[in-house]
Structures are given as C-alpha cells and as structure tokens.
Amino acid sequence: MSSTLLPSLSPLPNPVSAMDELHFAPRLLMGPGPINADPRVLKAMSSQLLGQFDPQFRRMMRETMALYRAFFETHNDWTLVLDGTARSAIEMVMLSAIEPGEKVLVCSFGRFGQLLNEIAQRCGANVHVVQAPWGTVFDLGQIEAAIQSFSPKLVAICQGDTSTTMLQPLDGLGALCHRYGAMLQVDATASCGGTPLPVDAWAIDAVTAGLQKCLAGPSGVAPITLSDEMARTIYRRRHIEDGLQPAGYVPGAGKRIASNYMDMAMIMDYWSDAGLNHHTEATTMLYGARECARIFVQEGLPQAYARHAAASRAVVAGVQGMNLKPYGDISNKMPNVTGVYIPDGINGDKLRAALLNDFNIEIGTSFGPLAGKVWRIGAMGYNARPDCVLQTLAALEIVLAAEGHRFTRGAGVDAAYQAYKGEHT
C-alpha cells in the first residue's frame, strides 16, 4: 500500500455525544505523565482573561519570569514561558540558535534523545549522535571523547528520559562543553521539579521543560531559561516582521530564523520592555504556569525534591515487595518515574486496562525496544503523595493476583508504607 495514503479516522460512535457537556470518569494518573493537575493550578486558570498588553498582564509576565528564575536556580534574564508543549521549546531553541550546517552533538540514552536528534536534523544541523544503551546513562568521559572528535557548537541531552526512566547526571557537563567552545542544551521536561537542576551552578546554556509532570500542571506551555551566551547567539539573528519594523531598523547579522512562530529572537522582543507584538498570548496557560512555579517555590526546592525521592523509594520498595523487578540502573533512576519489568506470562496491556477500568488508575506502557516488556509508574507533582502511591500499589496487587502472579499479598503495600515511615525491610 502506498505510504502517501492518508491515515484512517474512525467515525464517532455516537455523534449526538458531541453536544454533551464534558464529564469524564475521574482518573488517578500514575504513569510517566501527564499527571493530575494541582487544583490550585486549575483554579488559577479560571481567572478572567486579560489583553496581552494590559499593564496587569505585563506585570504578571514579569512575575512569572521571576518565579521560574527561582525554580531553575538561575539569574538568567531570559527565563520565560513559551506557548506550546515542551517539544516546541526544544525546537524553538535549536532552530533559533543553530544555523544550517552547524554542528550539534546529541547524547541519546532513550527515545527522547532520538527526538533531539530528529529536531536537530530538521533544523538543518550537522548532527552526530553518541548513544548509551537503554537503561544506562553517560559518564563525562564518553561525552568528552565525542566533543573532542566532533567539535560541536551545541551539545543536546535529556536530564531525564521517561522512555527508560533514567536520570543523566549533569554536574560538570556544562563546564566540559564550555572548555571545548560548545554550548549545552538540556531537555528537562521529564525531570524538572522532581530532582535538582541548578542551572547556574551546572553552567547550562538552555533548559527546556513542561508543566505536565513534576510541576503539576497541564501540557501546553513550556518554561525555558537561556544563558547570556545562548541569548546573544539567538539575538544576533534578530529580524523584525515587516509590519512592525521601526524607522532605521537594521536586521541582525545572522541568518534569519526559518520559522516565524518558532523565532526565539522575536519572542524575546515580545517579552522585553519593547513588547513587540508576536502572537496572541495563551493567557489561561500562562496563568497556570505562574501558579505551578508559585506552588513549587512556596513549598521550597529541597522539600519538593525530598517528596519526590520519598515517593520513588516507596514505589521501588512496593514493586519489589510484589516480586517485580525494577528496570535499568537503579542508581541512576529518575525519582519521579519507575520502570518495572512485566512478569513472564502477564499481558501488560490487559493488566493496565484492568487498573484503568476497575480502579480508575493509569500507569504507563513503554515503546521501542521496551514495548511489551516494561510498565512505567509515575509518582510526581501533585501525585507524589503517600495516598496516591499506596492506592496505586494496592490496586496493582489485586490485578496482579488476578492474573496469577505469585507473591505475598499485602507485601508490596506494606513495603511501600514502611519505606515512607523510614523503616527497613
């Protein structure tokens, strides 16, 4: 069959239902993300709309920038929120910083490292990929060898990759990149808010993130922070739209960024004091982004990280208590997502369906080389709480027993509870 045929679309089973008011069964989202939004975020998103140049709104933009500077532990001026999912932020930074033909080194240890590679290629970069086996991470020596041999302008890596549930250590990587004249871009969508990410201390040039995981918000906007060097690299490509150009306008020295919507230099002008119009702001999403950061900063970074680490220990103890094996290098596991091998003889999708249909609890499957082999259990953001973890493990025990998996009933929940209490089993 020709690949040019359009994909199929199944008909709506009951077209009349499209006129019904939305009403969904409540779900406890304990997969790799998205997760349940904090009710305070949803409340903030119901605030009255404002025009994007209303003084109240411009003040709120500055407040959001300040909150995310605290969140990222940075003094970077260019710390803001982009309209679009986390993937759009990755692309916007790459497209704006890298001119066609320039070198990008991608360090890939999972599916989202593969995404960084694809985005860099679509930006026209000369891309080299260094890979770590799924379930592992890189040491600095591996990355240094690749930088030495390739001499990239940009090194791109994920901090956490939900496909493998692994967490890449970043301390020292920014300094290493700078030693060889490269900048460092980090995708922290899966990990930010669940584990330390001190941007200034680790000398990271660009971090892109999302709300839908540890920040306990909806997907749809992307917090980012740019170092001064990254900001200057992007802004030298500044071009103003014809309809907005002032008298005497001189374009930037670099090649014009290939996308209008993804033009980070124009976004900088939009968020700056100049307030040059670029797009109509996703007002409600920005309200939510501000509230996500406010809640996080109010809780305190050390407290939020400790809460996620405690949930991680409880999940690991719980699955081990059920005679299940965690996936990958546990010493480098993300605190907010745990991979679990599906036991022999168990239909992983059938068990996930039972959790969803009988208990309204969602856990994740996997893909690529792990498809059908691994479940992914998330405990992050608003759901990184003992009640959510214990409820999920209790339901998992029931459906595992129903499928014939052998273990001591109650052992998983007991182990997780004891982990939360600081006891040793």
Secondary structure (DSSP) of 174-238: HHHHHHTT-EEEEE-TTTBTTB---TTTTT-SEEE--SSSTT-S-SSEEEEEE-HHHHHHHHTT-
Over residues 47-74, mean pLDDT: 97
In 54-171, alpha helices (H): 55-72, 86-97, 111-122, 140-150
* CATH number belonging to domain 39-297: 3.40.640.10
The CA distance from 222 to 86, in Å, is 5
Over residues 200-228, mean pLDDT: 98
pLDDT at 261: 96
- Does residue 19 register a pLDDT over 90? no
- Alpha-carbon torsion angle 332, 214, 310, 165, nearest 10: -30
Q: What is the DSSP letter of 93?
A: H
Over residues 397-416, mean pLDDT: 97
The CA distance from 84 to 90, in Å, is 10
Contact 276, 240 (CB under 8 A): yes
Quickly state the pLDDT bin for 28 (edges 50, 70, 90). very high
pLDDT at 3: 66
- Does residue 134 register a pLDDT over 70? yes
Contact 114, 164 (CB under 8 A): no
Among the listed ranges 10-14, 30-34, 45-49, 391-395, which one has the minimum average pLDDT value? 10-14
- Does residue 423 register a pLDDT over 60? no
> pTM, whole model, 2 decimals?
0.95
- Does residue 391 register a pLDDT over 60? yes
Measured from the Cβ of residue 118, the count of other Cβ atoms closer than 10 Å reads 12
Q: Give the model confidence (pLDDT) of 161-170 as tens digits.
A: 999 999 999 9
Share of the chain above pLDDT 70, in %: 99
Share of the chain above pLDDT 90, in %: 93
Contact 382, 38 (CB under 8 A): yes
- Does residue 2 register a pLDDT over 80? no
Over the Cα atoms of the chain, what is R_g?
Answer: 23
The CA distance from 178 to 123, in Å, is 22
- Alpha-carbon torsion angle 99, 100, 104, 110, nearest 10: 110
Strands 221-226 and 206-208, how do they pair? antiparallel
Q: Give the model confidence (pLDDT) of 252-311 as tens digits.
A: 999 999 999 999 999 999 999 999 999 999 999 999 999 999 999 999 999 999 999 999
In 151-181, alpha helices (H): 173-179
pLDDT at 297: 98
pLDDT at 12: 82
Question: If you classify domain 301-421 with CATH, what class do you get?
Answer: alpha beta
pLDDT at 425: 44
Q: What is the DSSP letter of 115?
A: H
As a 3-state breakdown, the chain gives helix, strand, coil percent values, each rounded to 5, of 40, 15, 45
Strands 361-362 and 221-226, how do they pair? unpaired
Quickly state the pLDDT bin for 14 (edges 50, 70, 90). confident
Over residues 163-179, mean pLDDT: 98
Domain residue ranges of the chain, discontinuous segments joined by +: 39-297, 301-421
Contact 198, 207 (CB under 8 A): no
